[in-house]
Amino acid sequence: MKNLLTWRRALLALATVSVIGPCSAFSLGGAEEAVVIAPPALDEVTQARSATAVFAGGCFWGVQGVFQHVKGVKNAVSGYAGGAADTAQYERVSDGNTGHAESVEVTYDPSQVSYGTLLHIYFSVAHNPTELNRQGPDTGTQYRSAIFTKSAEQQKIAQAYIAQLDAAKSFNKPIVTKLESYNGFYPAEEEHQDFLTEHPTYPYIVINDLPKVAQLKQLFPERYQEKPVLVKEGR
């Protein structure tokens, strides 16, 4: 596996003049179609001005890219969740046996965008919640659909929304998204941050991820912001 990863890194470095991580280099797949779904009937009630949510939905490049274009999002960081701190490196996570999922930690202002709205975008645009342990061309538990809930309220809202969507048959297959307890989030390596914005012509991004941003703009025009909130600009 490590020899394969080294070969992938060499090929991708030639294409992007950088060292790239676990998202598939060979099978480019195709963009998932966004799905028009109802917003959650249950949402958070808070006076807080800052909160965080952690979502996993396949390669973190696209998930991060989507949430960086959502009004009210202060930061969206690519990283790993679900496993231990000492295995939160892309070579280890790519083996698929660490418990980690490629994830994105979203910091947002609840007065501008609610947790329920983030869930609405996550299920509709950011990924396909009916794919088990894969997302598009990428396969393995590290690409699973998962929400790492950080509070009892988040757990209740997410659970209710999944039940709502399944009851309405919003998708042609059952939702397989797991609700997992939050036990830490570990930011990914520097080269994975802001990847969609920095490499808009990279074939994987063109085929799999730029359409998600376009679908966000089309389906959620009131939530879309043209200028993304970038990790590296906030440092």
The DSSP letter of residue 180 is E
Three-state SS letters, 49-117? CCEEEEEEECCHHHHHHHHCCECCEEEEEEEEECCCHHHCCHHHHCCCCCCCEEEEEEEECCCCCCHHH
Please identify every residue annotated as catalytic. 59
- Nearest partner of 146 among 158, 138, 160, 156, judged by Cα: 158
CA gap 216, 176 in Å, rounded = 22
Distances (CA, A) of 209 to 43, 103, 109, 142, 179: 28, 15, 25, 18, 24
